[in-house]
Amino acid sequence: MTCSIGAITHDDNNVVVDAEKCNYCMECIPVCPTGSIDEWRVVNTAYTLEDQFGFEELPEQQDIDTGSSDEGGMDAAIAAMLDEAHSGAGGKARAPVSAAKPETNLYTAAKPVVATIQGSYRLTGEDSDSDVRHIILNFEGQPFPVLEGQNIGIIPPGSDDEGKPHLPRLYSVSSPRDGERPNYHNVSLTVKREAGGVCSNYLCDLKMGDKVNVTGPFGTTFLIPDDPEARLLMICTGTGSAPMRAFTMRRQRTVGAKSGGMTMFFGARTPDSLPYFGPLSKVPESLLKQHLVYSRVDGQPKEYVQDRMMQEEDEVAEILADPNTHIYICGLRGMEDGVERAFTNIAESIGQQWAALRDAMRDEGRYHVETY
Ligand code: A2P
């Protein structure tokens, strides 16, 4: 019923998708009552409808890679990078119970997918000392199923000091699963130019039409719940806003202001250096309550996200006490301690022990940290 182009059919056993017709809009996934469409395989040749109707079980993912001997090592390196980024959760992170099932490792360093730069826009003011860009990648019909909160790898050209090809660098996607605009299936990144950074300078210098080697997608836990009642508390600094933008757009497109609600604490040096400052001002408070916090505004005291959380203690406490709340923290590693301290104080004010609450939330897939 959801599929406007009639790509989905079923018999008594199987719900199947006609790959000839499907445009990868993914609209069928959140509404599929059985979850059966929330499964796909990347193949060289699509399964026919007859094949699919015949399935008693899903076939294994075929190996579509060329098979580099280094690939296992590469996958392990990416997994280790992500584990490190998620370590601030204080234990093994889990996906939200209602999150869609993510695809991972479809493209590897040995067999990356080539994307084309569709746009690159500076997000921060020309006078700001921080050059953050919104970069849009177009996969031009090649499958790249990615969920909000996942990461992709970018392989900078050239080689490292030892003459080996560069390892992919991980970036969090800042677009929702169906693309910058619904059904465009492009993917955006939020990239800060770092002094001497091999990949950030490469990406920030790319022009429209340039090609880029992409791996991934990666990440199975830092995902948005599909449950519209879930309440999101998002805490971020700088480019840590990337997944929060994706979450907000996803919510805006699917459930709108009727959702469980979203609250964001977002820290930057100045308004001019806060990525997405302009677009954020147009997001209604009924969808996203925003606390924008600045550390380097002339004549104002330095303020960090954790300071504002403490100032808004009652609001945060009420959110913490809600069993529908999911917490997402993304940005500078340095923020972890301060945010933990704020949560400890706020939890105490409602008679809770933060460490216990955090561990329970994490085990229930409701506490997510990605820092670097
Ligand atoms: P600061 O002015 O101290 O650098 P960036 O622009 O480097 O991406 O940083 C984003 C924001 O995060 C800045 O406002 C920065 O403030 C702030 N920040 C830096 N360290 C911390 C920290 N330990 N906790 C919270 N915010 C921090």
Render pLDDT for 180-236 as a digit per residue (tens, 0 to 9). 998 888 999 999 999 999 999 999 999 999 999 999 999 999 999 999 999 999 999
Binned at pLDDT 50, 70 and 90, residue 74 comes out as low
**Domain shared by 138 and 214, yes or no:** yes
Distance 131 CA to ligand 1 centre (A): 15
What atom of ligand 1 comes closest to residue 192's alpha carbon?
8
Q: Would you say residue 122 has pLDDT above 80?
A: yes
Binned at pLDDT 50, 70 and 90, residue 33 comes out as low
Q: Would you say residue 65 has pLDDT above 70?
A: no
Q: Which of 30-34, 296-300, 308-312, 361-365 has the lowest mean pLDDT?
A: 30-34
Please say whether the beta carbons of 125 and 275 come within 8 A.
no
CA 250/CA 308 separation, integer angstroms: 26
Please say whether the beta carbons of 369 and 89 come within 8 A.
yes
The Cα angle at residue 69 between residues 197 and 86, in degrees rounded to 5: 45
Binned at pLDDT 50, 70 and 90, residue 71 comes out as very low
Please say whether the beta carbons of 167 and 74 come within 8 A.
yes
Q: Which of 174, 190, 306 is nearest to 248 (CA)?
A: 174
Distance 113 CA to ligand 1 centre (A): 34
pLDDT of res. 132? 97
The Cα angle at residue 231 between residues 225 and 236, in degrees rounded to 5: 85
**Domain shared by 192 and 243, yes or no:** no
**Domain shared by 235 and 158, yes or no:** no
Higher pLDDT, 41 or 200: 200
Q: Would you say residue 40 has pLDDT above 60?
A: yes
Q: Would you say residue 148 has pLDDT above 60?
A: yes
Domain final position from 218, 250, 265:
218
**Domain shared by 130 and 212, yes or no:** yes
**Domain shared by 322 and 235, yes or no:** yes
**Domain shared by 214 and 237, yes or no:** no
pLDDT of res. 68? 40
Pocket lining: 7 vs ligand 1, CB cutoff 6 Å: no
- Is 211 a member of any domain? yes
- Cα 367 vs. chain centroid, distance in angstroms? 14
pLDDT of res. 66? 36
CB-based contacts of 189, cutoff 8 Å, min separation 6: 134, 135, 137, 152, 154, 171, 172, 173, 174, 203, 242
Distance 238 CA to ligand 1 centre (A): 8
At 248-274, the pLDDT tens digits run 999 999 987 777 899 999 999 999 999
**Domain shared by 211 and 261, yes or no:** no
Distance 236 CA to ligand 1 centre (A): 10
pLDDT of res. 274? 97
Q: Which of 43, 106, 34, 28 is nearest to 17 (CA)?
A: 28
- Is 137 a member of any domain? yes
Q: What is the CATH classification number for the domain harbouring 336?
A: 3.40.50.80
pLDDT of res. 202? 98
**Domain shared by 253 and 365, yes or no:** yes
Backbone angles phi, psi at 337, to 5 degrees: -60, -45
**Domain shared by 316 and 245, yes or no:** yes
pLDDT of res. 64? 53
Residue nearest to atom 5 of ligand 1 (CA): 238
- Residue 22 catalytic? no
- Is 68 a member of any domain? no
pLDDT of res. 70? 46
Q: Which of 2-6, 119-123, 333-337 has the lowest mean pLDDT?
A: 2-6
Please give the share of the chain, as a percent, with pLDDT higher than 90. Answer: 75
| Secondary structure class of 328 (helix, strand, coil) | strand
Domain final position from 193, 218, 243:
218
pLDDT of res. 114? 97
- Residue 32 catalytic? no
Higher pLDDT, 44 or 345: 345
Pocket lining: 308 vs ligand 1, CB cutoff 6 Å: no
Please say whether the beta carbons of 276 and 124 come within 8 A.
no
Distance 237 CA to ligand 1 centre (A): 7
Domain final position from 153, 186, 218:
218
Q: Which domain holds residue 53?
A: 8-63
- Is 197 a member of any domain? yes
Q: What is the CATH classification number for the domain harbouring 196?
A: 2.40.30.10
Pocket lining: 267 vs ligand 1, CB cutoff 6 Å: yes
Higher pLDDT, 2 or 205: 205
Binned at pLDDT 50, 70 and 90, residue 36 comes out as low
Catalytic residue among 120, 130, 172, 241: 172
**Domain shared by 251 and 203, yes or no:** no
Pocket-testing residue among 124, 295, 336, 343, ligand 1, by greatest number of atoms within 8 A of Cβ: 295
The mean per-residue pLDDT over the stretch 109-136 comes to 94
- Residue 172 catalytic? yes
Average pLDDT in the chain: 91
- Residue 370 catalytic? yes
Pocket lining: 238 vs ligand 1, CB cutoff 6 Å: yes
- Residue 328 catalytic? no
Name the DSSP class of 310: H
- Is 83 a member of any domain? no
Pocket lining: 240 vs ligand 1, CB cutoff 6 Å: no
Q: Would you say residue 322 has pLDDT above 50?
A: yes
Q: Which two tokens stand for residue 99?
A: 């999150």
- Is 171 a member of any domain? yes
**Domain shared by 235 and 366, yes or no:** yes
Pocket lining: 237 vs ligand 1, CB cutoff 6 Å: yes
What atom of ligand 1 comes closest to residue 338's alpha carbon?
24
Pocket lining: 187 vs ligand 1, CB cutoff 6 Å: no
Pocket lining: 130 vs ligand 1, CB cutoff 6 Å: yes
What's the structural domain count of the chain?
Answer: 3
- Is 349 a member of any domain? yes
From residue 123, alpha-carbon distances to 84, 134, 137, 149, 281 in Å are: 28, 6, 16, 20, 14
**Domain shared by 242 and 320, yes or no:** yes
Please give the share of the chain, as a percent, with pLDDT higher than 70. Answer: 92
Pocket lining: 304 vs ligand 1, CB cutoff 6 Å: yes
CA 265/CA 290 separation, integer angstroms: 6
- Is 51 a member of any domain? yes
pLDDT of res. 149? 98
Please say whether the beta carbons of 117 and 212 come within 8 A.
yes
Please say whether the beta carbons of 53 and 17 come within 8 A.
no
| Total count of residues recorded for the chain | 372
